[in-house]
Chains A and B, each alone.
Chain A
Amino acid sequence: MNRLEMKTAHKLVGTFNYQLGQLEKGYANRTLYINLSTNGFAEKPVTELMKQKFIGGRGFGLKLLWDGIQGHTQWNDPENELIISPGPIGGITQYPGAGKSYVVALSPLTQSAMDSNAGGHFGPFLKFSGWDALEIQGKAERDVIVFIDGTKGTVTIEEAPLEAVNSHILVEQLTDMYAESEADKGTISVVAAGEAAEHTLIGLLNFSFYDARRKAVRVKQAGRGGMGTVFRDKHIKALVIKSPKVRGDLNNPADMSALKKAGQKIHEEIRTLDDSQCRMRKVGTAHLTQIMNDYDLLPVRNYKFGSHPEATKIADDVFLAKYFHLNGHDECWYGCSLACAKVVKSFQLKTGPYQGKEVLVDGPEYETTSAAGSVLGIFDPEFVIETNFYCDTYGVDALSFGTATAFVMECYENGVIDDRVTGGLKLNFGNAEAALELLHRMAKGEGFGKMAGLGIRRMKKLFAEQYGANPDFLQDIGMEVKGLEFSEYVTKESLAQQGGYGLANKGAQHDEAWLIFMDMVNHEIPTFEDKAEALFYYPMFRTWFSLNGLCKLPWNDIVPADNHLTAEPAKVPEHVHNYVEIYNGVTGANIDDKGLISQSEVVYNFQRVFNVRMGFGTREYDQVPYRAVGPVTVEEYESRQDRYDAQLKDILNLDPEGKTTAEKVQILRNYREEQYRKLCDAVYLRRGWDANGIPTIKTLERLGIDFPEVAAVVKKKMTQG
């Protein structure tokens, strides 16, 4: 089928014309609302209060979602919204990492507010087209494409029956269709999901950008929390945007020279230091696979273990030597000289509907080498690449896929489920063929693929109810918090990072805090108070990226040559200073590094109250599976017996001699669970929350978010107890 036939089959069901305008100090000062049930549109003003309190990006997403739904709204109600917003710094080209889009919606996995981010060009293009956020509510009757033409000032909703659903085809089709010429392709960005996003709750969104050197459409993923599932539930096939030609001054920053100055410095650092630091330009985050293995932090076999002798087979050197293609645009937004978006340019697929085809694969990143590798007990780079490809094109979050499949494998090996349940798939650890087949079945919504696609939390319930599994065992080994599957780090030896996962607003994702080295290796945060301080500063600091359309990687995946001479090198003070400068430079504000933390604290606490509003957000929802805390099984304990025995002796003053391993597992468990409880106490106190983990009215007042509807949620919960 050719593009013309597809385009001709489009049926226009809604049109909106708007005035084009200029950005002012990073803001368009309006957001675009689209209702797919009514095919209606609205332009919403962005107030000063909105900018002050919510900044942009995730902050805008949360505020718009809060206003758009009720406490009883379900993820698949038409009322649920999907919001994309880049933030005020988003779209600058002088400083690396300024092209991120932040997506917010009620998540099918957690049933609360989720935020997830992606590179690609959509977010900046949205701003250049005149909008600080895109807010989509309602459900279309049939599959639609929403097209925003930022060169003409039009938005259309078009029924689009003929285009593919799977991303790798769809993004090419739509880039071709909406670009006027090859040269014009760089002005188009597409957001798409895939067929698995229709049949699973772990759907992701792909955000495209055109790689002119490779003449290929590339995709970056907003993976976490089922955003693609919400997208397809709304019958959105794709969002397409056409932007005015990109220039470095489109944000109309208050002080361009501040951006240039900060940018020049860091570009020089990257140029001179990256090769001896993280080698992001060569291998991206995949440099971490070997390191995580060296430090016993790489998830192996459903997080039972933290290393494996075969991990070298999926390490960065393997991808660099044989698979990565380095001569293109590996920056996911203009000006990112860290350019970590690695690509396998031509890979011949061995399975599935595209078997035999040569495809381009975006990735793999570190997380994929675990989720499509070690966590499943599979150490085959081609399996990693193939799974990476299919997860993206089907619209499946590779992390949730990997972590959930690892859970399934452990259940299968323990006889919790058998071949009758899996439809004949022999889901033992290490079985790459079965894992890929499971992914293909997820995409089709067939058999056990449908069940696995529900995610770990729902599988735990089903396995207990339908197959008589022991719910306590499933709770111990099911690596999820708040319904979201863990990302790919082993946390057994870092209490602070257990909190980093357990206390994160969205669920078990490490983007709020990654404290493992600081805690486990450096021993810099020995007391509960120290850990609580780290679990205050880092989540607040890292939240700030999400308010501003920024990528976190240029903060600390490259550090200045004299960083070691600073008082707090882990914070990379010079880069924090850069962020203050570029924020002030874009918006004309005058904040300092404390102001940056305060901005985040507002949104962070608002999100916590959002969780309370949706029926969560208290201590019981901050609990982590014991697999994240310590050894669940005798096998795990004995694999690191020296370490655990030493801990019994040194910390608990107990002689392990004469005790069975099962007894030792239990003793260690009692101790570690108590530690986690105390950690939560300390963190709640530091954050200004009550003993149940709810932000107090005093905290809301201090942050200036004691809005009546927000305070009412807190008061109601506190009276209910």
Chain B
Amino acid sequence: MIKVNGKDYPWEEGLSIKQLLVNKGFTFPLLVVILNGKAIADNEYVGTVVNDGDEVKIIHLMSGG
């Protein structure tokens, strides 16, 4: 189990940030991802692996009129 935005979320072996975004259906482009307190740049989403017990914040910014 991991925590995503403060809520429990099932973990799977080899889960990347990119895959987590897909699993969560997070399609919004303006995201800030923080893994265990460390900001992850968007070009690192594919290569960054989430481990069991990790805490991920996926902050959606805002857009639109």
Q: What residues make up the interface of A, taking CB atoms closer than 8 Å to B?
A: 276-278, 285, 287-288, 290-291, 294-295, 365-367, 510-511, 514-515, 517-518, 521-524, 526, 552-553, 556-557, 559, 563-565, 569-570, 572
Contact = CB atoms under 8 A, between A and B. Distances in A.
Nearest to A293: B27
B39 A553 contact: no
A277 B62 CA distance: 12
B60 A556 contact: no
A544 B59 CA distance: 25
Given A276-B29, A521-B5, A569 B61 contact: yes
Contacts of B26: 521
Contact of A277 (B6, B7, B25, B30): B30
12 contacts: A277-B29, A278-B29, A278-B30, A510-B65, A515-B62, A517-B60, A521-B60, A522-B58, A526-B6, A553-B65, A559-B30, A569-B59
Contacts of A570: 59, 61-62
Given A290-B27, A522-B57, A523-B6, A563 B62 contact: no
A556 B27 contact: no
Which of B32, B34, B58, B63: most chain A CB closer than 10 A?
Answer: B63
Nearest to B33: A564
Nearest to A292: B64
B55 to A, nearest CB: 12
B7 A569 contact: no
Contacts of A565: 39
A514 B55 CA distance: 26
Task: Give the contact-size bracket for chain B.
Answer: 20 to 34
B32 A563 contact: yes
A556 B41 CA distance: 18
B5 A523 contact: yes
Contact of B65 (A291, A294, A524, A552): A552
Interface of B: 5-7, 25-30, 32-34, 39-42, 57-65
Nearest to B63: A557
A563 B32 CA distance: 8
Given A515-B62, A552-B65, A564-B41, 11 more contacts: A278-B63, A285-B64, A288-B63, A290-B27, A510-B64, A522-B5, A522-B57, A524-B59, A556-B30, A557-B64, A559-B61
B4 to A, nearest CB: 9
A524 B65 CA distance: 22
Contacts of B30: 277-278, 556, 559
A120 B25 CA distance: 37
Most chain A CB within 10 A, of B7, B41, B62, is at: B62
A556 B29 contact: no
A565 to B, nearest CB: 5
Contacts of A276: 29, 42
Nearest to A296: B25
B5 A556 contact: no
A409 B56 CA distance: 43
B65 A572 contact: no
B64 A517 contact: no
Contacts of B40: 564
Nearest to A521: B60
A477 to B, nearest CB: 24
A565 B59 CA distance: 12
Contact of A294 (B5, B27, B32): B27
Contacts of A563: 32, 61
A556 B30 CA distance: 9
Nearest to B6: A523
Given A277-B29, A278-B30, A564-B33, A556 B63 contact: yes
B32 A569 contact: yes
B27 A291 contact: yes
Contact of B61 (A295, A366, A556): A556
B29 A518 contact: no
Interface centre among A285, A295, A517, A559 (most CB of B within 10 A): A517
B30 to A, nearest CB: 6
B27 A514 contact: no
Contacts of A557: 63-64
Contact of A556 (B25, B33, B58, B62): B62
Nearest to A277: B29
A526 B7 CA distance: 12
